Amino acid sequence: MLCLSFIALSLSAQKKSKETSGNPLFPGWYADPEGAIFGKEYWIYPTYSDKYEAQTYMDAYSSKDLVTWKKHPHVLDTSNVKWAKKAVWAPSITKKGNKYYLFFGANDIQNDNELGGIGVAVSNKPTGPFKDLIGKPLIDKFHNGAQPIDQYVFKDKDGQYYLFYGGWSHCNVVKLSDDFKSIVPFPDGTTYKEVTPKGYVEGPFMFIRNGKYYFMWSEGGWTGPDYSVAYAIADSPLGPFKRIDKILKQDPAIATGAGHHSVIKNPKTGDYYIIYHRRPLGETHGNHRATCIEKMEFDENGLIKPVKITFEGVGANPL
């Protein structure tokens, strides 16, 4: 009887796993996931989470329904970015025209004298191979105290592209040139605008909903259980950003260190999803992180409801 019960539970678990994505979404240590939608497919570009010297490439994953994911190995490799030697992380991707542009951090520079920072690579396909666009970092110095990492490329309603970025508890925003090969000044003549909200540590992200700009970021230490996501809402992509609340954090019964996220929206159904990384229970190694997904919902005032992290993940939602 016990054996039959076990078989029944196993069959039930298998059925459930086919109905939902499950968390983590795919095997392997991946962090800082950037979600995107290209055509009829969902895409995730994460950091390959390992010791810095081993972070010399990026994989990508695609899905038609959020449940079944296909791996695309080495879409970006340092063999195509000569100045990048290690710590290639936190990808952010956008499609402009017929090309795909992948922004990334590399080398984890600690001062202005080291080679590295934020680069941009280009490909004709979302699967790559992505190749260095300008042959050097786009941002290679510390401005306003922000380490040049954790970049997010954002397209505004008027078509202007911005890059939000920054570690070491400082966040800057810059305007990108039309060809993404340089940074251009704002109307007031400034180039690097600091927009750091209270509590900000790293991992900025932005999206527009009902005409409002939702600015999100990670708080806490990335190797610790307190890693989490908070947000602000503003009328402009330049802020000011007043912190509202934390919406993603650990659940000691499920996983710890839930943070460094992105958000995608199914344009057909209007459903929002938050894609993030977390540390499985029992894992103590800082780089042992896995990519997960949950539904993200709003209340009647447009505020983001706290996200409950799960093992189930989300159901199928084709584009």
- What pLDDT digit, counting tens, does each position of 6-46 carry? 333 333 443 444 699 999 999 999 999 999 999 999 999 99
Where is average pLDDT lowest: 120-124, 243-247, 266-270, 281-285?
281-285
The answer to whether 273 touches 263, Cβ cutoff 8 Å, is: yes
Which is it for the CA torsion 267, 272, 277, 283, positive or negative?
negative
Mean pLDDT over all residues of the chain? 94
The reported pLDDT for the residue numbered 18 is: 65
This model's pTM is above 0.85: yes
pLDDT value for 230: 98
pLDDT at 2 over 90: no
Catalytic residue among 32, 132, 150, 294: 32
Percent of the chain with pLDDT over 90: 92
CB 103 within 8 A of CB 88: no
DSSP reduced 3-state for 52: helix
Question: What value does the mean pLDDT take over residues 275-291?
Answer: 92
| Residue appearing with tokens 């839930």 | 258
Assess whether 32 carries a catalytic annotation. Answer: yes
> Is the residue at 87 inside a domain?
yes
In a domain, 172, yes or no: yes
Output the pLDDT for position 3: 39
Q: Residue 288 is part of which domain span?
A: 26-296
16 inside domain = no
Asked whether the beta carbons of 31 and 47 are under 8 A apart, the reply is: yes
Kindly give, in sequence order, each residue whose CB lies less than 8 Å from that of residue 205, ignoring residues fewer than 6 positions away: 152, 164, 215, 216, 217, 261, 262, 263
Domain contains 73: yes
- Name the catalytic one among 59, 202, 219, 294: 202
**Is residue 283 predicted with pLDDT exceeding 90?**
no
The answer to whether the beta carbons of residues 248 and 274 sit under 8 Å apart is: yes
Answer whether residue 166 shows pLDDT above 70: yes
Q: Which domain CATH number covers 149?
A: 2.115.10.20
Residue 17 lies in a domain: no
Q: Is residue 136 in some structural domain?
A: yes
Please tell me the total count of domains within the chain. 1
* 193 is a domain residue: yes
Cα(141)–Cα(79) distance, rounded to whole angstroms? Answer: 23
**Is residue 133 a part of any domain in this protein?**
yes
